[in-house]
A = this chain, B = another copy of it.
Amino acid sequence: MKDVVSRCPIEETMRVLSGRWPTLLLYYLKDGTKRFSDLRRDNPTVSHRILALELRKLEDAGIVRRTAHPGYPLRVDYDLTGPGRRLVPLIDALGSWWVHTEDDRTGRSPISETNLDTAA
């Protein structure tokens, strides 16, 4: 990718949210504070390296707050910032959009007077 700094906010947002993990991490973090190992447990298919990189990316974007506790064994907490929490419902909206478009994808119309299929 180039070093192009886009002025389009949508592009900027997508630069952060693109990929498989960011929205998933948001999803797990909306429950509250999680530790690195918690997040790995939540999603066993992320490699530790990628998890660290993604968390760093979200931190840089101001979505996630990283809190390192001094002492050993190491302990680091992650939770959503204000912007991060405000982002959650938007992500959820995308999720429901997908669910609703299922009707369109399967060629059915959503709940209407003409349609009384056995719903899903």
Contact = CB atoms under 8 A, between A and B. Distances in A.
Given A14-B17, A20-B14, A23-B14, A9 B95 contact: yes
A1 interface: yes
Interface residues of A, number: 44
Nearest to A7: B120
Contacts of A82: 104, 110
Interface in A21-44: 23-24, 27
Contacts of A96: 9
Nearest to A110: B82
B10 A27 contact: yes
A90 to B, nearest CB: 5
A81 B97 contact: no
Interface string A65-87: 00000000000000001110011
A90 B83 contact: no
A9 B93 contact: no
Contacts of A87: 97
